[in-house]
Amino acid sequence: MTSRSTVTSRSTALTSRRTVVLTALLGAALLMISTTMTWIAATGLGETSSVAEVEVPGSQAADTVAAMGLVGLAGAVAVTIAGRAGRWIIAALLLIASLMSLYASLGVLIDPAGAAEPAVGEVTGTTTTAQDYQLGFGAWTATLGAALMLAASLVLGAVSHRWTDRKASKKYSRTAADEAAEPDEYDLWDGLSEGDDPTEAR
């Protein structure tokens, strides 16, 4: 019985609003950080090249990743205040952003030569390709960030309808407290008919 309740509590924690927001924020942050890192290092550029190596950052290898990271950051923040319908819209936007980022990063991992070709050509001034291409940490960082955003979007779309809207809960609790503290006009009239003085301190 205890083990079952423990598993349930852990499952609830993994699908909570806090976890989804933090996961989306982390994924988006990794995407944006990755654009400043080296994704590909191209070496063996030929005798005519003035440099021995070209390092291709994420901003050149996959220029859409930074924008998708911004979408992820904005979406994660919006989840904290959005209602049920708004959360579904945000989930769809996060899903699209994560898939686009994942497509871009995986494309670099699969074909680094093709991704580095424009940057290599710009440096060498020719269409000659490099002899060797080494993947940097940037491409892997972006892939991890996209995967985290994808997971957050799927959980958000699947379970966010179970979350309690904060505005609604605050409104209902405030209404109940107001009703308990302040009697309505019908209660006052009933009290007067029974001889109660409404100005008397309670």
Q: What is the pLDDT of residue 53?
A: 82
Kindly report, residue by residue over 26-47, the tens digit of the pLDDT.
999 999 999 999 999 888 776 6
CATH of region 2-163, choose from 1.20.140, 1.20.5, 1.10.490, 1.20.1730: 1.20.140
* pTM given for the model: 0.73
Q: Is the pLDDT of residue 25 over 70?
A: yes
Give phi and psi for 128, each to the nearest 5.
-70, 135
Q: What is the pLDDT of residue 161?
A: 75
Kindly report, residue by residue over 151-176, the tens digit of the pLDDT.
999 999 888 777 776 554 444 445 54
Q: Where does the pLDDT of residue 186 fall: very low under 50, low under 70, confident under 90, or very high at 90 and above?
A: very low
DSSP letter, residue 135: E
**Exposure b/e, 45-57, CB count within 10 A at least 16 = b:** beeebeeeebbbb
Residue intervals in the chain for CATH 1.20.140? 2-163
Q: Is the pLDDT of residue 56 over 50?
A: yes
Of 9-13, 72-76, 114-118, 155-159, which range is least confident? 9-13
